[in-house]
Amino acid sequence: MSDSKYFTTTKKGEMAELKADLQSDKKERKKEAIKKIIANMTVGKDVSSLFADVVNCMQTDNLELKKLVYLYLMNYAKSQPDLAILAVNTFSKDCEDPNPLIRALAVRTMGCIRVDKITEYLCEPLRKCLKDDDPYVRKTAAVCVAKLHDINAQLVEDQGFLDLLKDLLSDSTPMVVANTVAALAEIGEVSSTATALTDLDTSTINKLLTALNECTEWGQVFILDSLAGYEPKDDKEAQSICERVTPRLAHANAAVVLSAVKVLMKFMELLPGDSAYLTSLVKKLAAPLVTLLSAEPEIQFVALRNINLIVQKRSDILKEDIKVFYVKYNDPIYVKLEKLDIMIRLANSTNIANVLAELKEYSTEVDVDFVRKAVRAIGRCAIKVESAAERCVGTLVDLIQTKVTYVVQEAVIVIKDIFRKYPNQYESIIATLCENLDSLDEPEARASMIWILGEYCDRIDSVDELLTTFLDSFADENSQVQLQLLTAIVKLFLKRPADTQQLVQSVLSLATQESDNPDLRDRGYIYWRLLSTDPAAAKDVVLAEKPTISEETDLLEPALLDELICQISTLASVYHKPPSAFVEGKVPTPTSNKLINQANNTTSAAESTEEPVEDGVAAPPQEQAAVIPSAVEDSLIGDLLSMDLPSTSYNAPPASAGDGLGELDLLGDLSGLQIGGGYGGGMIGGQTGVGGIFGGTGLPGMGGGMGGGGGGGGGGIDLFGGLGGQGPNPGIMFQGGPISLPKQEWLPAARGKGMEILGTFVRRGGQIYADMTFNNKAMQMMADFAIQFNKNSFGLAPGPLAVNSPLMPNSTASTLLPITPGGLVMKMTPLTQLQVAIKNNVDVFYFSVNMPTHVLFSEDGAMDRKVFLATWKEIPQSNEVQASVDNVSLTPDQVQQKLETNNVFLIARRQVDVGGLNQELMYMSLKFINNIWVLIEVKAAPGSTTVGLALKTSAMDVIPGVLEAFKSILHA
Amino acid sequence: MIGGVFIYNHKGEVMVSRVYRDNITRTTVDAFKVSVIHARQAVRSPVTIIARTSYFHTRQGSVWIVACTKQNVNAALVFEVLNKMVQVLEQYFGSITEESVKNNFVLIYELLDEILDYGYPQKTDSGILKTYITQQGVRSQSTEEQKQITSQVTGQIGWRREGIKYRRNELFLDVLESVNLLMSPQGQALSAHVSGRVVMKSYLSGMPECKFGMNDKLVIDKQAKPSTPEAQNLESQLSKRQGGGVNRSVAIDDCTFHQCVKLSKFESERSISFIPPDGEFELMRYRTTKDITLPFRVIPLVRLSTQNHVEIKVTLKSLFKAALTAQKVEVRIPIPPNTSGVKIITLRGKAKYKTGENTIVWRLRNMQGQRQSELTAEVELLPTTDTSKTKQTARVPISMNFEVT
């Protein structure tokens, strides 16, 4: 019986013929027709028009025919959802069939049909099948839950399938358990709500470990992969799991072995580093890994990619086995290339002689990529194993003599690296290199050669001629080569200025005038300016000693490596990329190991600290959104904001006195500027002038006060200061007096180049203070601290900043910074935002903080009773805000007390009877330091936890802040 | 997991396409054809990523068998599945060719349905699969039989069906070893290792529990001590018995077992016990690198006398004891592809130049230990215009086969 005839090309009218066959009574003809249809479907022909007729054949007792119809259905149901419903009936019937194979087939197929109507009908049969007597049906149903979850996750969760699935973990048949594990893992990966349900606990782990011994090889892989995601409680549990997983290393299936290796590698991290068990475990890993290399080449490839990770993590595992990574002549190229990588990783001073002999052999092979990699490997050996450097260089020179162009080019590239690592040791080979100049046609090789010429130009006689020949074709060169040529000629000029002036001039003009590559132009200009202004400095810069290169340049980042170790055997480990890099919509996996998380944190912190250091010239982009522009150069910033400098009567605060404070001054200047001189710096006046809102703040009847304030800002300040002293005496009933909020991180160390600032605001004795803690987390001491604020809503300005200076590394200093009003005013959003610049000897840092509103309530906020009444009436109803604070466990007296301690003053208090409840009504007032009044009606009832508030003010902008303040006061 | 499995012919036409996941579409199928099968440069990796879809492929002659996925799947598992799939198909209809795939595509679809569910591998033992998927259509089965099948498929011993009966119970064991040797031009062995396979043919009735013992000389995995005290005890006894000064033990670096072997028992007691599948299977593989005494020594001598004339002289020495005899000795000597004619002189055996394979095959029916034999060949080469090319051909090593009984 041959089926290949179904693949023959279709004739015209075939569809009609097939249709007729499908409708025929003869089973054989039907079957033939369906086979033909499936063949057509396979080659990509559209046979969906026959849908209805195919579905009609579904009702059959012939299992083979049924399977073919189901196959067709899975393919086309989505395109014909309406017709697909015709199949539901048969499916439901099949789910009740006495034959378990048919029951399973029906459930399996239904799960693959992504049509809502069908899915609806799937739930009931699925529920039954999950509890079926037959294990074959149960194992199919378990996978079906994962299918359904992919179609409609909500449905699965609502219908309680996840719980049913979890129950299956205790099933008596290992294969059911294995499929359940796989399904749970898949569901847990995509759905965060399900993750909690699918998390493994100790008892499940034990069940899984038992099932591990009994289920199929594939089931073992599912279970091991799930185990790898488990977090053992302690090292004992980790060890006991390891002990039960270790026997899997002898399995014939490479996937089982690799998954077991994954579990072991991961849990090893949790074992104490000095335990004997760990040592023996490490030894046990080597042999199975090596054995993987006798598997099929594709599996070897996966194994090698993983071994590459493993030796990076634990280089001791395979240190004795370098020989097994020697390349075999009939290895596929992908295996050869991977083996080379591992050989280099394992090379050390004891085995280098053999490795080198091998590599030399490889460099005469046929495959160009392989040869190149082998040559490069020789160079890497030289850099890695210092004792062998000379031999490696000798080998490379031999290779150059072969005159095979790609070998020569590759050799030149690695010799450049060798020169970087061992400067001034192997110049003798430069002559050989120069002989082969002509054969270099790849940019990287040419650039490397030119670098060598420039670096050693004082030892090569005819170097100017050589460079001149390169210069002739300057325009045609790759930019990499052009850059190197520019640098090399400048080096030459600095060493031999007498006879190379012509050369340097022509290269500089070529670079700056003829090129449209900005990198090249920039470098050209920098050299030009350096040379013309200060040749000595140019020498220091250009001929400076270069840092030697590190030996392992291609190591993966530790954080990534740790993540990949947890992904051993998966695609991520093959690509050496995190899964999120190649999987769509991948939720970043919670990287299991705590260790790993820590590692991640430290790296990211380290990275971000380094980030802004370098750019000295260009203005760094504004990193802090909505904060002060990071100023570097006065004029630059001035230009940016198109403002004139400086302005009016603003006095730089004492803190900013001292050297290098240009930036801080600037802030002052800027703010001063916008205010303009006309207001004389008076805070209240300024405020009226500037902010639209503030302009209208003056309460009727308060005009006098405002005017007075406007008269002399300074006086106003003094007044507040004086009043502060007479403020309500805090701390009688409530410890702590005016509330102070816990310190928050204002400037993280990562952004402050190691300077971390924590802080909060407090009001004491009528004065606002910023209570700050400076932590020096950098490696160097810090000194010369100074602070400045940007213009802000309340015209706050900092007093002198007293920090113990210098601040040594890893030490902490606390300071109380007095803050006074009287600075320049600009409305901020939110109102209480304060933009701060702090300077130390390292840099200037900008950040913004939100002040708690209550520190802005002034001590003279008690309004005269009559004025209060009048004001209350005059403020329109639209300016009244009702609010309430919940969960206040205070008596009305305590409420009053608490509020008064925080400068909200009682004007009048009365009791009212509302529906039999005694309510206390308190009329209170408060005044912001910039003379905005807020009138408050506080409703409190003994026994009630809710405090009602009615606020009236003409400056509605302050309301949210006041409410926030009330909340924190009453909850304090 | 696996999103779909496809089988392509050498032209890149799809012969079988079984999609398990919704995110795999017709375009996915075509992308592989365009980017890999039709690619101008031969692919350099068995794993390819195209537009966030990863493809795993393996080739059987001109047929490409491909699995694809959009998830971060277990790569080793996918390749193992593909290999097992190939084995299953071969056991159903012989070697996999374009012709055989097309002839059996309905069967393949049926098998793929059982082997993978939603991309998760389920059953890959052809012995069991054959009980309910047959080429002759479906046999009528009683309910009892159906029950038995399903319990067997999901059961612990998924590789053997119940109720097997043989009139004569037989068991055959073959040990196949291959010695891999890498020798420098100076005759120094760079690396040598032996990989061996123990292949078993079992024709036993019922559910027999077998134990496989190895003699005392065999020490598996010297470094890693077994974890239980009994096993350590056993091992120390073994080593005491061996302790006769001369190290006569054979150390095995590592071994792996067929899934029927109870691994936890091996780990704790070092005993290999199993219920074998019916018929032929590979019980274990092992690997050793230590103390390899080479059975033969092959000494080649190649001289390029003129540009187009090469003289090859191969000396074969048997190093084993004179009492033993090697049979069916076959030495394969590679020669350049541009050979036009070969003249061979041998003292013993027969040698032939095989044009298609560019090799001289030298066969000796038997060879005693401690003997020596020689072959000389004069190879005429076709002149080539590019002299560097003759240097650049892949240099295939000499290989040989023999049997010891």
> Given pLDDT bands bounded at 50, 70 and 90, which one contains residue A622?
very low
**What element of type H or E holds B27?**
helix B26-32
The pTM of the whole model exceeds 0.90: no
- Inform me whether the pLDDT recorded for A619 exceeds 60: no
CB contact under 8 A, B105 and A134: no
Q: Which residues contact A623 (CB under 8 A, 6 or more apart)?
A: A612, A630, A751
Q: How far apart are CA A99 and CA B150, in angstroms?
A: 10
Given a cut of 60, whether residue A685 has pLDDT beyond it is: no
Which pLDDT band holds residue A378 (cuts at 50, 70, 90)? very high
The rounded distance, in Å, linking the Cα atoms of B299 and B316 is: 6
Contact (CB<8Å) B109/A68:
yes
Q: Which of B47, B102, B190 sits opposite A7 (nearest CB)?
A: B102
pLDDT tops 90 at residue B80:
yes
pLDDT at site A552: 65
pLDDT digits (tens, 9 = 90+) for A915-929: 666 778 888 888 888
CB contacts of B284 in chain A (<8 Å) are 252
b/e per residue A719-728 (b: at least 16 CB within 10 A): bbeeebeebb
> Residue A565 belongs to what H/E stretch?
helix A558-565
Residue of A98, A243, A569 lying closest to B74 (CB–CB): A569
In this prediction, residue A218 carries a pLDDT of: 93
Q: CB distance from A402 to chain B under 8 Å? A: no
**Residue A539 binned pLDDT confidence (cut-offs 50, 70, 90):** confident
* A740, A903 contact by CB (below 8 A): no
pLDDT at A852 over 80: yes
What pLDDT score does A241 carry?
Answer: 92
d(CA B250, CA B246): 12
Q: Give the pLDDT of residue A931.
A: 81
Residue A926, SS3 per DSSP? strand
pLDDT at A655: 37
Structure tokens at A784: 């010369």
Tokens of B345: 């002189």
- Which carries the bigger pLDDT value, residue B234 or residue B20? B20
Least-confidence region, from A742-746, A810-814, B160-164, B244-248: B244-248
Question: What is the token pair recorded at B264?
Answer: 């936890």
| pLDDT at B183 > cutoff 80 | no
- Give the whole-angstrom CA distance, residue B107 versus residue B220: 43
pLDDT at A272 over 80: yes
- Terminal alpha carbon distance of chain A: 87
pLDDT given at position A303: 96
- B124 vs A contacts (CB less than 8 Å): 217-218
Question: Which pLDDT belongs to residue A906?
Answer: 84
Of A112, A247, A579, the CB nearest to B263: A247
Mean pLDDT of A712-736: 36
Of all residues in chain A, the percent with pLDDT exceeding 90 is 18
Mutation to test the A interface, candidates B1, B58, B154, most A Cβ within 10 Å: B154
- Statement: residue A837 has pLDDT above 60: yes
Would you tell me which residues 201-260 of chain B have a C-beta closer than 8 angstroms to some C-beta of chain A? 221, 223-225, 227, 253-259
Identify all chain A residues contacting B15, using CB atoms and an 8 Å cutoff: 7, 42
Please name the residue that has the structure tokens 């995509």. A190
Q: Do A218 and B122 touch (CB under 8 A)?
A: yes
User: What are the DSSP calls for A174-213, one per residue?
Assistant: HHHHHHHHHHHHHHHHH-HHHHHHH---HHHHHHHHHHHT
Q: Is residue B98 within 8 Å of B7, Cβ to Cβ?
A: no
pLDDT of the residue at B243: 40
Put simply, whether B58 touches A (Cβ < 8 Å) is yes
Residue A737 has pLDDT above 70, yes or no: no
More confident residue, B135 or B2: B2
Residues of A in contact with B153 (CB under 8 A): 136, 175
- Is pLDDT of B190 > 80? no
Q: Tens digit of pLDDT for each residue in B140-164?
A: 556 677 777 777 777 667 788 777 8
pLDDT over threshold 70, residue A614: no
Query: Amino acid identity, residue B326?
Result: A
Strand B218-220 versus strand B250-252 pairing type = parallel
> Chain B neighbours among A 81-120 (CB < 8 Å)?
98-101, 104, 108, 111-112, 114
Average pLDDT of the segment spanning B101-119: 91
Helices (H), A388-476: 389-401, 405-421, 430-435, 443-455, 463-472
The two tokens of residue A913 are 């009877």
pLDDT band at B2; cut points 50, 70, 90? very high
The predicted-structure confidence for A433-451, as pLDDT tens digits, reads as follows 888 888 888 999 999 999 9
For A641-662, write each residue's pLDDT tens digit: 333 333 333 343 433 333 333 3
What SS3 state is found at A67? helix
Burial of A128 (0-12, 13-18, 19+ CB in 10 A): middle
Q: Does position B173 have pLDDT exceeding 50, yes or no?
A: yes
With an 8 Å Cβ cutoff, are A255 and B109 in contact?
no
Q: According to the model, what pLDDT value does residue B6 have?
A: 94
- The mean pLDDT value for A420-427 works out to 86
DSSP one-letter code for A52: H
Confidence of residue A484 (pLDDT cuts 50, 70, 90): very high
pLDDT score recorded for residue A10: 58
Q: Cβ of A35 under 8 Å from any chain B Cβ?
A: yes
pLDDT value of residue A836? 86
Question: Measured between alpha carbons, how far is A17 from A20 in angstroms, rounded to an integer?
Answer: 5
pLDDT at A585: 62
Does A248 touch chain B if contact means CB atoms closer than 8 Å? Answer: yes
Question: Of A373-382, A823-832, B25-34, which gets the smallest average pLDDT?
Answer: A823-832
Structure tokens at B54: 């990863």
Question: What pLDDT shows up at residue A90?
Answer: 85
- Give strand pairing partners of A690: none
- Asked if pLDDT for residue A615 goes beyond 60, the answer is no
Distance from the A252 Cα atom to the nearest Cα atom in chain B, whole angstroms: 5
Taking one residue from A and the other from B, the number of pairs with CB-CB distance under 8 angstroms is 283
pLDDT of residue B41: 79
Residue A79: predicted pLDDT: 83
B190·A334 Cβ contact <8 A: no
Which of A152, A319, A571 is the mutation pick for testing B, counting most B CBs within 10 A?
A: A571
Which of the listed ranges A730-734, B197-201, B253-257 does the model predict with the highest average pLDDT?
A: B197-201
pLDDT tens per residue across span A563-581: 999 999 999 999 999 988 8
State the burial class of residue A133 (Cβ atoms within 10 Å of its Cβ: 0-12, 13-18, 19+).
Answer: exposed
Name residues 196-215 of chain A within 8 A of B (Cβ). Answer: 213-215
What's the gap in Å between the CA of B271 and the closest CA on chain A?
13
Asked if A526 and A533 count as a contact pair (C-beta separation under 8 A), the reply is no
At residue A735, the pLDDT reads 41
Q: Once rounded to an integer, what is the mean pLDDT over residues A83-112?
A: 86
Look at residue A384 and give its three-state secondary structure: helix
Option in A252, A290, A329 nearest B285 (CB) = A252
| Probe site for chain B from A37, A136, A282 (most B CB atoms < 10 A) | A136
Is residue A206 over pLDDT 70?
A: yes
| Pairing mode, strands B63-69 and B254-257 | unpaired
Question: Please, what is the Cα angle at A427 between A423 and A432, to 5 degrees?
Answer: 140
Quick: pLDDT tens for B51-67: 889 999 999 999 999 99
Calculate the dihedral angle through the C-alpha atoms of A402, A404, A410, A411, rounding to the nearest 10 degrees: 10
Contact residues on chain A for B137, CB-CB shorter than 8 A = 64
Residue B223: the pLDDT is 42
Q: Which residues of chain A neighbour B289 with C-beta distances below 8 Å? A: 323-324
Chain B nearest C-alpha distance from A808 (Å): 48
pLDDT at residue A647 in the model: 38
Query: Is the pLDDT at A855 greater than 80, yes or no?
Result: yes
Q: How far apart are CA B152 and CA B146, in angstroms?
A: 10
d(CA A568, CA A563): 9
> Collapsing DSSP states into helix, strand and coil, what is residue A820?
strand
Work out the pLDDT band at B48, boundaries 50, 70, 90.
very high
Which has the higher per-residue pLDDT, B246 or B364? B364
> Which pLDDT value is given to residue B393?
58
Residue A426 has what pLDDT?
87
For the ranges A35-44, A503-512, A583-592, A728-737, the lowest mean pLDDT is seen at A728-737
* Backbone Cα Rg of chain B: 26
- What pLDDT, on a 0 to 100 scale, did the predictor assign at position A678? 34
Smallest CA–CA distance, residue B368 to chain A, in Å, is 30
Residues B266, B211: contact at Cβ < 8 Å? no
- Token pair, residue A367, equals 């495959």
Which chain A residues contact residue B83 at CB under 8 A?
A: 296, 298-299
Q: How confident is the model at residue B228 (pLDDT cuts 50, 70, 90)?
A: very low
Within 329-358 of B, beta carbons closer than 8 Å to A belong to none
Which tens digit of pLDDT belongs to each residue from A347-365? Answer: 888 899 889 988 988 888 8
Percent of chain A scoring above 70 in pLDDT: 82
pLDDT above 60 for A264: yes
The reported pLDDT for the residue numbered A642 is: 37
pLDDT of A514 above 80 = yes
3-state DSSP call for residue B215? coil
User: In terms of DSSP bridges, do strands B350-354 and B339-346 run parallel, antiparallel, or are they unpaired?
Assistant: unpaired
Q: State the DSSP H helix or E strand holding residue B366, giving kind and residue range, or none if neither.
A: strand B359-368
- SS3 label, residue B182: strand
C-beta atoms of B74 and A3 within 8 A: no
- What's the pLDDT score for residue B136? 59
Do A114 and B22 lie within an 8 Å CB cutoff? Answer: yes
Does residue B389 register a pLDDT over 70? no
